Structure 1
Amino acid sequence: MFLYLLIFMAYFGCRRIPRSQRIKFQLVNVMFTALVLGPQLYVLTRPESSRYCKQPLLNNLSASIVLSCIAVGFSVVFTLLEPVPLSVWRCYYMFGLLSFGHALGTVIITSTAAPCAKTTPELYYISLVLTVASVVSTVFLVVKCGLWLINRLDEDNAQEAAPP
């Protein structure tokens, strides 16, 4: 869910900036991309990451890198297109479901991989960081969706209560 939240923030952050200054935002977007992908690629290339670990942390990291690359593509498309086509939005929501599934898998794998901290420390700690980021972003999105639903229901109730 962390990657889904990054795309969400890129889209809504970009819409608050005038079109003439969005190139600066694109540069900030590239920096966030480097901050997200850089550590993952670094850990993937470390020789210690290929050591044996009972849990599939390396496979999970590979999936996270693939999802990160997809998220980079979405964030670029969302900041360049105005308006964003409905088909792209649908793909983004499907990516959100995939991201949620990956986050859930990351939490489960990392919670049972404490012994891997000795054999593959970098891999374990990057998995731990991804787990914390996923949990925090999931909580944020659940609260945001809950507030959106409450607001939507209040608007519907206000329209029903209004005299014709």
Structure 2
Amino acid sequence: MIKVLFLCHGNICRSTMAQFVFQDMVNKAGLSSEFFIDSAATSREEIGNGPHYGTVTKLRQEGVPVLHHRAVQMTKKDYDTYDYLIGMDSANIRNMNRITGGDPEGKIYKLLDFAGAKRDIADPWYTGNFDITYNDVLEGCEALLDYILRQKLKK
């Protein structure tokens, strides 16, 4: 089973959006039994809160199922549990490395790196623009799934 953890600052906007978008892609590809997908925060600010209403609204507009989720904080143990730890921006990557104590196995990535884009996914908590965030998340998740499937075929 391939285990993927998406991360952002609070785990209510971008990482939950990526979790639900990626889960939907995996389900539609008939691969749900081969993946475990979740999301977490690098901070404690939103612990216990559900997805942001802007994320929920945007996903419903796009026909992506919104799953039950409450914000949790990433732990050092997550590094051993997951195959891919995917941050949404450079600050997330720094915080993820701080929490894990480094990335000796090369499991920590920025989502848009898979799409060949070096930009961060903007936090709609601050921008208010869930459309741009969704487009970036979709681009990154499509590229991530393609990458994982290509890696799997090599084995």
Does TM-score exceed 0.5, indicating one fold? no
Q: Which has the higher helix share?
A: 1
Larger Rg over CA atoms: 1
**Larger relative contact order, structure 1 or 2 (CA cutoff 8 Å, min sep 6):** 1
TM-score, L = length of structure 1 = 0.30
TM-score w.r.t. length of structure 2: 0.31
Higher strand share: 2
